[in-house]
Amino acid sequence: MFKEFDITNLENAHNELEKILNENKEYLQQLLKQTNKNYENFVKPFQNMQERVGEYITPIFHIDSVKNSDISQEVYAKCIPLLSEYDSDLSQNVSLYNALKAIQDNYKSSLSDIQNKVLENEIKEMARNGCNLLQGDKDILKNINLELSKLNKEFSQNILNATNSFEMIVDTYEDVKELPQSDIELAKIELDGIIKYKFTLHMPSYIAYMTYGSNREKREELYKAYSTRAPQNGDIIEKILELKQQKAKLLGFENYAQLSLDSKMAKTEDEVIDFLYNLASKAKEKAIQEVQEVQKIAFDIDNIQDLKSFDLTYYSEKLRKKQYDIDEEHYRPYFEQKSVVKGIFEFLNKIFNISFIKSNTNTWDDKVEAYDIYENNTPIARIYFDLEARKDKSGGAWMNNWHSRYIKDDILSLPTAFIVCNFPPSTDKVPSLLRHNDVVTLFHELGHGLHHLLTKINEPFVSGISGVMWDTVEFPSQFLEYFSYEKEVLQMFAKHYQTGEILGEKDIEKLKNARNFQSSLATLRQVEFALFDFKLYQSSIQTQSQVQILLDDIRKDISVIIPPSYNKFQNSFSHIFSGGYSAGYYSYKWAEVLSADAFYLFLEKGVFDSTLGKKYKDIILASGGAKDMSDLYFEFANRKPEVESLLKIDGIIS
């Protein structure tokens, strides 16, 4: 039913992978030689062939993240080029493309909607990779992609080098006394026998001083260094813009924004732009009030009359403390890890009618636990929890899907996934006590996990999270997050690990209120980034000065506090110049509207409304990537998602 986690032959994994890939290449040639290709004899075995690769390589890559070693690093490095070459050959395989297109053309009316979706996705993806271009254009596209890859790496490296090269020395304790003691200790250095304090542009250090550093001149020094990093990236931006425009034109699009939207829920450029400006218009008035509140406290405390960008974080923290005064340490005894996990299982059983039964299957660490998920007394999925920090484990939190749900040789393969977090480690004497932010993180990653695990689709390319559009993939995770602030849910597991006392309503209300602190400012900031990104890739802008003019114009429209002229934020905007978010940064807010609107329905009907929970599970989660999310959402809510739901939950409108 479930395959065991097994990496006993890790050191030879690259050899086994190479064997699998070569067998797949030979198998594909056999499939292509068939004279009467159809969905059953070509598409299904092609999907199964690809699943074999994913099922084998996922544990290999996973172990490098959660049990990192010299061997795992070496094997990872050997596997990457093998996979890269294999994927490149497949994406450029004209015979494969023509076979899929012929099946789509010849059998579309007799295929199911799900089967047609598999074909549509795969054909579109291959087309976006230039499979149907003439050989000369393929070569041009290959060179563009290679050059973009180099530029992306150079862009990131420049930021890293600039970040590493700067340090700011604070001479006196007076200028650091407001920092948490742990940050003071980290910053402390000895120069010529004198204790001083060093701050860098690495985020923990930077944020610590910008939030608690009382010396205004030092705050600006640090802010200026951060916002002017990597000026040479201006030249790289020009090259990236030129190459991405060439790529879009080569693939038949007017601009790169159109190419980006080809794989997203949003269908038109105007739809994205209108969405972002609508958000901004709703948030701006309250954002102005939020800045005025900061301005007032800055004046009251330090007689600051001209609030600047480098003041905002410092005085916002003072305002936040004054309004909410949340002490994370007060909450942690109520969020003992095992109690939280058990309570979340009870919550998911109540809302989705699923049960979690502990499995004795193999894992990669003694503290990793696996559970089989049951629905109506039938196992439907398996989930692994690796929740505690370790020295050999990468930081952060993520969900990693291992197996998909699909049928091969009349046998149903059930989905599996890993949930990985970095919570405080437990010992025999001390349990793992979480912050509420950790609880939110666990809900978020479980949202991703359930999206993959509760699917009812048996076609692996659109089963679970496979085939889900980029700008909607965060919807189920953000949606589940909202429940982690609700009294009815929290009180299922927020119990003091020593006394058993349930977290009080006032403490829960504090958490909810603090969540919306400066939410309008945060919304405007995200809209500013998203508009800059999208308009940049819509345009034919080629020079650094034109880039700056565009950003300045957007800020005049959107921002309520204008950064100083020396701020060159664009030169370190790695999301869109060295990441995967080019003309797609809007996705963060787009998915958030879906999640908030869905959650608002639960607020109206009741957090534990079983009918609504079943509907969400049966439509949104069960369908995976088999249908466009716009259609799924309408089927679920009987209407399109409303921006107002997000604005209400964020406290921007009432």
| Catalytic site positions | 445
Whether residue 157 contacts residue 149, with contact meaning beta carbons closer than 8 Å, is answered with no
Measured in degrees and rounded to the nearest 5, phi and psi for residue 264 equal -130, 170
Alpha carbons within 13 angstroms on the beta-carbon side of residue 1 total 9
What is the distance, to the nearest Å, from the Cα of residue 547 to the centroid of all Cα atoms in its chain? Answer: 27
Smallest CA-to-CA distance from 385 within 402, 404, 399, 406 is with: 399
Q: Are 227 and 568 in contact (CB under 8 A)?
A: yes
Separation of first and last alpha carbons in the chain:
50
Within 10 Å of residue 282's Cβ, how many Cβ atoms?
A: 18
Residues 6+ apart with CB under 8 A from 509: none
Please give the single-letter amino acid code of residue 289.
Answer: Q
Task: Please give the Cα distance from 528 to 74 (Å, whole number).
Answer: 42
Q: Tokens standing for 31?
A: 């499939």
Element (DSSP H or E) covering residue 562: none
d(CA 398, CA 458): 24
Question: What element of type H or E holds 190?
Answer: strand 188-191
Q: CA-to-CA distance for 456 and 274, rounded, in angstroms?
A: 35
| Residues linked to residue 401 through DSSP beta bridges, in sequence order | 417
Element (H, E) at 374: strand 369-375
